[in-house]
Amino acid sequence: MARKRVTSGMRPTGSIHLGNLLGALNNWVRLQEEYDCFYFIVDWHALTTPGGGGAVGYENVGDLTANVHEMAIDWLSAGLDPEKCSIFVQSHVPEVAELHLIFSMITPLGWLERNPTYKDMVQGYKIENPSLGLLGYPTLQAADILAYKGDFVPVGKDQEAHVNMTRDLGQRFNSLFGRNVFPITKALLTEVPKVPGLDGVDKKMSKSSGNYIATNLSAEDTVKKIRTMFTDPVKIRKDDPGHPDGCVVYAFHGIYNKSELEPIRSECEKGTRGCVDCKMQLAEKMNAALEPIREKRAGLEADPNLVREILGAGADKAAAIAKETMREVREVMNIPTRENV
């Protein structure tokens, strides 16, 4: 039996960070063993939000081409295997743009205007004149997934609504045109860690907040970032009793140093463990975990043509499927072909 398809994308907004790695990529790496996975670098989506406070959206995205190449390296060095999954650039499959156009004809504006993420984006980035592209990004997302007839999209519970919009659009298409062209896309709910920012356990590590550790940092620079982690503010001297639950260093021990978590907690609470030592111990564990990624990265950085070949082969495989989807879409909609017009 054919394996079910998983589709997912990430915006190429510069180097990825530990939140992206632990919260998304590691899960993608696991999924490639079990599903037919399509992972795309969504360069068109990168044009929907301003990189630095633009009014419309596309300004200041940075060097898009370099960012896309960098993201491919990030993904491959994290363990995505082009023998097991398809890795490609969104815009290398232009059929997705055609499907987006078709979907834009059947997307009720109300669905888009009610989308809470849209409102968050407009407020968060202080966008005065939101673009049609930003408003319509869920329609593009639906095209990204449905061009490949994605059965599943790996997301957390909080993002389930996005997947539901894709499912609803696909089903709306099927019922309008009387054929089940698209599957019923579902969220593949997965437990992934919420990675805190360097500035507090209640903050989310994110690009826009600047509170992140990029995965492409050297071991030394990673240590420097760990030194800046927020710790218990009332633990001033080494022998003051601490409160691990509010400490970012402790939270990361929970990710990278699980086996020693209990003694770390009790030593911290008793006041027999200093924050500096605790950070250095974390640095050792984190750097050991990141070392294989750094090694793979170095190999890929030395061979940009290999990265291009992988992206090219991924796009070929994806485009063959998207072309067939579009043939069906045009057929059920009675869009004239050169042959039958």
Interface with ligand ADP, residue 157, by CB under 6 A: no
| Binding piece for ligand ADP, criterion CB under 6 A, among 17-25, 53-61, 224-232, 244-252 | 17-25
Other Cβ atoms less than 10 A from the Cβ of 322: the count is 24
Residue among 204 and 227 whose Cβ is closer to ligand ADP:
204
Among 4, 84, 179, 204, binds ligand ADP (CB under 6 A): 204
Q: How far apart are the first and last CA of the chain?
A: 38
Interface with ligand ADP, residue 194, by CB under 6 A: yes
Taking the complex as a whole, how short is the minimal distance between the CB of residue 209 and ligand ADP, in angstroms? 8
Interface with ligand ADP, residue 20, by CB under 6 A: yes
Interface with ligand ADP, residue 51, by CB under 6 A: no
CA distance linking residue 140 with residue 188, whole number of Å: 20
Among 12, 19, 50, 57, binds ligand ADP (CB under 6 A): 19
Unique residue bearing structure tokens 């939270």? 251
Written as six digits, the tokens of 276 are 């500096």
Interface with ligand ADP, residue 24, by CB under 6 A: yes
Residue 165 near residue 142 (C-beta atoms within 8 A): yes
Unique residue bearing structure tokens 């691990």? 244
CA distance linking residue 162 with residue 147, whole number of Å: 16
CA distance linking residue 153 with residue 188, whole number of Å: 5
Interface with ligand ADP, residue 5, by CB under 6 A: no
Interface with ligand ADP, residue 48, by CB under 6 A: no
Among 23, 50, 133, 183, binds ligand ADP (CB under 6 A): 23
Nearest to 44 by CA among 92, 90, 96: 90
Interface with ligand ADP, residue 207, by CB under 6 A: yes
Residue among 160 and 316 whose Cβ is closer to ligand ADP:
160
CA distance linking residue 176 with residue 172, whole number of Å: 6
Written as six digits, the tokens of 339 are 């042959």
Residues in 282-341 at the binding interface with ligand ADP, rule: CB under 6 A? none
Taking the complex as a whole, how short is the minimal distance between the CB of residue 7 and ligand ADP, in angstroms? 13
Residue among 158 and 262 whose Cβ is closer to ligand ADP:
158
CA distance linking residue 78 with residue 26, whole number of Å: 7
Residue among 52 and 336 whose Cβ is closer to ligand ADP:
52
291 Cβ contact partners less than 8 Å away, ≥ 6 residues apart = 219
| Chain positions contacting ligand ADP, by CB under 6 A | 10-11, 13, 19-20, 23-24, 194-195, 204-207
